[in-house]
């Protein structure tokens, strides 16, 4: 009995730690034709906060972010939760992020909660929203293309519209909420796609991976981490918050740093 009780206490402690201890995940993505000005360019990718609070005014989260080096911030949706659509947690996060440009694409929870006021609040904080559009992102006299689509999970994505801005062969980086966009992105030959939505499954079993992910059902394929098809790399961010079940197992909340390297 004592052994079982000890095991239960250890399991609960591990689950609590795994739900609240922020991890830093780093990727290096080799991109053909990357301009020299972008060799080593690093994107801080945040996703799926779901109103979660990391201490007073997001202090624990901002402390982790403050120890990193990056050039641009991308947030790929579900920063709020439809069950408790409070803006304070994300406003405190964005207010403490510093001076780097922040780009945002909406997720399903933004639309379910009423996207208009959320978008207005973000733009009031200086965040640039990308919804089926793109920009020429310049650095040291050269550029790449930064594209964003509206939420693929709810069918609002229009990749062709986002690609309409592209007029040369410079690399294209796509922000989207859900990995549903990957087949279309790979067909279009995009170099890099950053998404979230799945939370990595939240519950991950050793040697199995995610048990369930929204839109993909049991044992999802595009659950977490990097996926490659042809010259297209997609990175699925495990996210910062939780949905439905307020726990994580075997996948801590994370921030992601993606560094572009030339080949």
- Work out the average pLDDT over 192-209: 96
Q: Which of these, 208, 207, 170, 205, lies nearest to 191 by C-alpha position?
A: 170
Comparing 13-17, 22-26, 80-84, 246-250, the range with the smallest average pLDDT is 13-17
| CA 199 from centroid of its chain's CA atoms | 9
pTM of structure:
0.97
Q: Which of these, 138, 162, 141, lies nearest to 150 by C-alpha position?
A: 162
Give first-to-last CA distance, the chain, whole Å: 59
Q: What confidence score (pLDDT) does residue 2 get?
A: 80
Mean pLDDT estimate for the chain: 96
Q: What confidence score (pLDDT) does residue 3 get?
A: 81
Q: What confidence score (pLDDT) does residue 81 get?
A: 96
The pLDDT tens digits of the residues spanning 166-176 come to 999 999 999 99
Q: What confidence score (pLDDT) does residue 17 get?
A: 87
Partners of residue 205 on adjacent β-strands: 209
Q: What confidence score (pLDDT) does residue 143 get?
A: 98
Q: What confidence score (pLDDT) does residue 218 get?
A: 94
Over 80: is that where the pLDDT of 221 sits?
yes
- Work out the average pLDDT over 196-217: 94
Q: What confidence score (pLDDT) does residue 24 get?
A: 98
What is each CA distance from 99 to 36, 94, 153, in whole angstroms?
23, 10, 31
Domain residue spans in the chain?
2-262
**Dihedral-angle region of residue 75 (phi above 0 means left; psi in -120 to 50 means alpha; beta otherwise):** beta
Q: What confidence score (pLDDT) does residue 1 get?
A: 77
Grade residue 6 by pLDDT with cuts at 50, 70 and 90: confident
Determine the Cα–Cα distance for residues 103 and 75; give it in Å rounded to an integer: 6
Q: Which residues contact 217 (CB under 8 A, 6 or more apart)?
A: none
Are residues 25 and 254 in contact, defined by beta-carbon separation less than 8 angstroms?
Answer: yes
- Work out the average pLDDT over 57-63: 98
Over 80: is that where the pLDDT of 151 sits?
yes
Over 90: is that where the pLDDT of 50 sits?
yes
Determine the Cα–Cα distance for residues 167 and 91; give it in Å rounded to an integer: 35
Over 90: is that where the pLDDT of 102 sits?
yes
Determine the Cα–Cα distance for residues 255 and 25; give it in Å rounded to an integer: 6
Q: Which of these, 139, 173, 138, 132, lies nearest to 155 by C-alpha position?
A: 132
**What is 2-262's CATH number, 3.40.718.10, 3.60.21.10, 3.40.1360.10, 3.40.50.300?**
3.60.21.10
Q: What confidence score (pLDDT) does residue 142 get?
A: 97
Q: What confidence score (pLDDT) does residue 14 get?
A: 82
Are residues 164 and 183 in contact, defined by beta-carbon separation less than 8 angstroms?
Answer: no
Over 80: is that where the pLDDT of 147 sits?
yes
Grade residue 84 by pLDDT with cuts at 50, 70 and 90: confident
For the four alpha carbons of 38, 39, 44 and 48, in that order, the dihedral sign comes to positive
Q: Which residues contact 9 (CB under 8 A, 6 or more apart)?
A: none
Q: What confidence score (pLDDT) does residue 12 get?
A: 82
Determine the Cα–Cα distance for residues 246 and 203; give it in Å rounded to an integer: 11
């Amino acid at each position: 009995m004592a052994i079982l009780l000890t095991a239960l206490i250890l399991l609960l402690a591990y689950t609590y730690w795994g739900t609240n201890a922020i991890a830093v995940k780093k990727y290096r993505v080799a991109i053909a034709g990357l301009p020299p000005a972008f060799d080593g360019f690093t994107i801080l990718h945040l996703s799926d906060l779901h109103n979660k609070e990391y201490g007073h005014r997001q202090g624990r989260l901002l402390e982790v972010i403050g120890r990193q080096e990056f050039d641009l911030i991308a947030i790929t949706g579900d920063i709020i939760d439809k069950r408790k659509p409070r803006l304070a947690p994300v406003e405190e996060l964005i207010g403490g992020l510093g001076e780097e440009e922040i780009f945002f694409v909406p997720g399903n929870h933004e639309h379910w909660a009423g996207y208009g006021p959320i978008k207005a609040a973000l733009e009031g904080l200086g965040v640039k929203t990308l919804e089926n559009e793109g920009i020429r992102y310049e650095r040291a006299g050269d550029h790449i293309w930064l594209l964003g689509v509206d939420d693929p999970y709810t069918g609002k994505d229009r990749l062709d519209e986002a690609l309409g801005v592209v007029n040369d062969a410079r690399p294209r980086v796509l922000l989207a909420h859900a990995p549903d966009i990957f087949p279309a992105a790979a067909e279009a030959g995009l170099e890099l796609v950053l998404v979230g939505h799945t939370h990595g499954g939240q519950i991950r079993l050793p040697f199995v991976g995610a048990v369930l992910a929204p839109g993909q059902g049991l044992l999802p394929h595009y659950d977490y981490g990097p996926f490659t098809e042809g010259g297209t790399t997609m990175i699925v961010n495990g996210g910062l918050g939780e949905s439905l079940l307020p726990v994580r197992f075997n996948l801590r909340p994370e921030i992601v740093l993606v560094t572009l390297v030339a080949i």
